[in-house]
A and B are shown apart, each in its own frame.
Chain A
Amino acid sequence: MSYQGKFRVWRGDDTGGALEDFTVEVNEGEVVLDIIHRLQATQAPDLAVRWNCKAGKCGSCSAEINGKPRLLCMTRMSTFTEDEVITVTPMRTFPVIRDLVTDVSFNYTKAREIPSFTPPKDLAPGEYRMQQVDVERSQEFRKCIECFLCQNTCHVIRDHEENKEAFAGPRFLMRVAELEMHPLDTADRVDSAQESHGLGLCNITKCCSEVCPEHIHITDNALIPMKERVADRKYDPIVWLGNKLFRRS
């Protein structure tokens, strides 16, 4: 059942680094994170990796396995052949701290830029009434475990540092959609999606949806509907004319 697996793991820090070769025991049923832990325990005690729940629920152990953005804890060794060399590298979009650990503070900065849930003022706690069918749309987006793999893979920022300032990324554009679709949120989020959070930069290549370990339909259910709402308001000629004639402010 056991075999000696071949691994190449990126080791280094913000000043540089390189892939390091390891041969390590692999047992039946294991995931890549198990192998990384075995490396720590036997060959490289100071190998840096982030992880928490080891069950795909916390979104800490994001990295790239053979170039694909994945959770280390949800990538089973049985998906590789025994003679395959498995390359593990840190997420590319964020600055490296050490080995497989990256500085994901970009995401926390973006989270703060999105105005929070704004409930109706006259509704006391306990009085909230919503139908299941109405909450389900936002519930899908709240399944997000914030692994930031969608942010990592999105080509708008993956190799374009210059876009980071203007673009919230799929995770946080989805947050805007989640609040917009919340049955009781009173804030208007359509204009700011385009103007403050960079929705227009997304050209719906669906890479984010593809890498989402929670299988959230980020593009189809969050980003495209938001784009439609923006288009309805911004580019619909009748709405445009109405806005010109009856300025809201």
Chain B
Amino acid sequence: MPEVERHSFDVLVIGAGGAGLRAAIEAREHGMRTAVLCKSLFGKAHTVMAEGGIAAAMGNVNSSDSWQVHFRDTMRGGKFLNNWRMAELHAQEAPQRVWELETYGALFDRTKDGKISQRNFGGHEYPRLAHVGDRTGLELIRTLQQKIVSLQQEDFAEFGHYEERLRVFQEFTVTDLVVEEGRIAGAFGYWRESGRFVLFEAPAVILATGGIGKSFKVTSNSWEYTGDGHALALRAGAKLINMEFIQFHPTGMVWPPSVKGILVTESVRGDGGVLRNTENKRFMFDYIPEVFKDKYADNEEEADRWYTDQANNRRPPELLPRDEVARAINSEVKAGRGSPHGGVFLDVSTRLPAEEIRRRLPSMHHQFKELADVDITAQPMEVGPTCHYVMGGVEVDPDTAASSVNGLFACGEVSGGMHGSNRLGGNSLSDLLVFGRRAGEGAASYVRGLSERPSVSDEAVARASETALAPFQAEGGENPYTLHMELQQSMNDLVGIIRRESEMQEALERLEKLKERAQSLSVEGHRQFNPGWHLALDLRNMLLVSECVARAALLRTESRGGHTRDDAPAMSADWRRKLLVCSLDGTRVNVEEQAQIPIRKDLLDLFDRAELEKYLTPEELS
């Protein structure tokens, strides 16, 4: 029996981004002794990278907005594959979640009458995104972090101890969940600093680990995004859905190489920026898909009028959902009309006065100036698609965020369903808050309903410890950095923005080989803050999740949202009724079809029949 530090809590939250922190706040406010376990320092999570804003139908700028309109936009954005109940809850509860942030101390940009200002974004019918310049994610994470501190101060006042009911374990990585008799019993992991192991005993675990972007070469995601929660859930016996849907954000930086993939916020387009090719043409007018023809302007004059008069003009096509814009950019570059470094031009300099650009897009101005020597008030930016977000994730109950494993919950990017096949910009931050809160509540109510707590067996601890130490046992094995680079290249080239059967087959073959080689990884040095060892452990998760993506993508023979197939370019109404569900069978990923639950009638009635005909089968409409 290896020596491990032990802690006992009511609820464990894995991940300290927006979803994890909101879940922890809720669990603690329901009286649960709660721990947050996070890979980075507290307050550094990937949520800080979110720029544009939080979508919530508050109607502060255009009073015609309502949750029903937001629901419609979300379903359209996801091409109707969304879990409609999640989309409904999300649209209904987002405004309360944003207002609540103000009570925690958030300072959003304001309208003239002192309310929270809202900006336009792709796929949203009205100005809907609450924002702080272009650093909304930072505001969100800092606000939640400070709320947690304030709860800890309350505990200090009451118990003389800050961490009585809510404790953050930072720079701590969970390597395995412990499941005993079919329900969650705890989690096992290591301190980055010392490499020492810790066992957490807890009847409920909330996964809030974010995404999987680090399996791709060009990505806006940070090192933490290695699909940990997705893999932990699979290994614990839960199911993943929609894993074939990956969002490539249309505008990532393309130059210099070292910053390739870093995000350029959609607000640039929301605030008037346009996309041009080397022929100086606003090419997005050529890429308006049939389903959106009545909503988007087909000429520059109308598109430009929309910024000041939204009631009488259609939207500019630069504000189509992200999947459409990313594909368009990809096509322009392939056709030889790309910019010098393989992107297209995104220009706001000819559209807004310099002062206005600096005020509305300060961090973009800063980022380009410092990293690329480009002054965005005077020059266009070069941009191209970058792996940004995974729509797929743990299959959960919409109301409680519970997975199919007792005691296991998931919220935020690691959960699946809410965004269907494509997420709208701004719907991520609101998703974190709405379902973070619901997961905290769901976990608290699960724990309260237990008559006895599960216990962790010594055997489970020994097994987890052995797995985590394996990379130190082998000598002269593979270098984890080399393996990681090969994985990223394979996923980028073969399961990227445009897919075809033969390439995905090849990806699966390569993944098999990588999996084999990963058995004999070896790392140098010792356990204290050793990034080589950390990567070796993360690779196990990346390989598993990549296999889910490739297998599901191979099976879905249609194109929809974040899944585009060269060999099956059309969207199929029959496929809309099917979800692909991944589960783990030993070391093998199984993918099975599962029927979608039909959309509730009163929600269907929010759409015109003519629009529904574009997505649904005649049988569903009859």
Contact = CB atoms under 8 A, between A and B. Distances in A.
Given A41-B481, A115-B153, A132-B109, A29 B257 contact: yes
B607 interface: no
A116 B257 contact: no
Contacts of A146: 43-44, 142
Contact of B138 (A13, A97, A145): A145
Interface residues of A, number: 57
Contact of B48 (A13, A53, A115): A53
- Most chain A beta carbons < 10 A, residue from B41, B46, B109, B113: B41
Interface string A34-52: 1000001100011111111
B110 interface: yes
A45 B523 contact: yes
B370 A45 contact: no
Interface string A94-111: 000111010010001001
Interface stretch (A56-64, A188-196, A237-245): A56-64
Interface stretch (A122-130, A161-169, A226-234): A122-130
A55 B40 CA distance: 16
A28 B370 CA distance: 14
A201 interface: no
B193 A97 contact: yes
B103 A46 contact: no
B41 A125 contact: no
A44 B363 CA distance: 33
Interface in B498-556: 523-526, 528-533
A55 B367 contact: yes
B615 interface: no
A205 B372 CA distance: 32
Interface stretch (B93-101, B175-183, B300-308, B320-328): B93-101
B262 A55 contact: yes
Contacts of A119: 103, 105
Contact of B139 (A40, A50, A58, A142): A142
B132 A139 contact: yes
B532 A125 contact: no
B224 interface: yes
Interface string B254-267: 01111100110000
Given A13-B528, A116-B149, A117-B150, A60 B41 contact: yes
A60 B102 contact: no
Contact of A48 (B100, B153, B531): B531
A129 to B, nearest CB: 4
B524 A129 contact: no
B259 A48 contact: no
Given A29-B256, A29-B258, A116 B146 contact: yes
Contacts of A47: 531
Contacts of A112: 149, 152-153, 156, 162
A182 interface: yes
A114 B147 CA distance: 12
A45 B524 CA distance: 7
A143 B134 CA distance: 10
Interface in A144-182: 144-146, 179, 182
B371 interface: yes
Contacts of B133: 139
Size category, B interface: 35 or more
B71 interface: no
Contacts, number: 173
A145 B135 CA distance: 10
B449 interface: no
B223 interface: yes
B331 interface: no
Contact of B525 (A45, A49, A101, A139): A45
A92 interface: no
Contact of A125 (B44, B100, B371): B100
Given A29-B259, A55-B262, A130-B110, A46 B44 contact: no
A55 B531 contact: no
A138 B532 CA distance: 41
Contacts of A128: 99, 102-103
B222 A54 contact: yes
Contact of B107 (A52, A53, A142): A142
Nearest to A179: B105
Contacts of A13: 528
Contacts of A31: 258-259, 371
B121 interface: no
A55 B259 contact: yes
Contacts of B152: 112
30 contacts: A27-B257, A29-B258, A30-B257, A40-B531, A45-B532, A46-B524, A46-B525, A46-B530, A52-B46, A53-B222, A54-B262, A55-B371, A58-B44, A58-B222, A60-B44, A76-B371, A98-B193, A111-B149, A112-B149, A112-B153, A119-B103, A125-B100, A125-B102, A126-B58, A130-B107, A132-B110, A143-B138, A146-B43, A179-B105, A182-B105
Interface of B: 40-44, 46, 48-49, 58, 95-96, 99-100, 102-105, 107-110, 113-115, 117, 132-133, 135, 137-139, 142, 146-147, 149-150, 152-153, 156, 162, 193, 222-224, 255-259, 262-263, 363, 366-367, 370-372, 479-482, 485, 523-526, 528-533
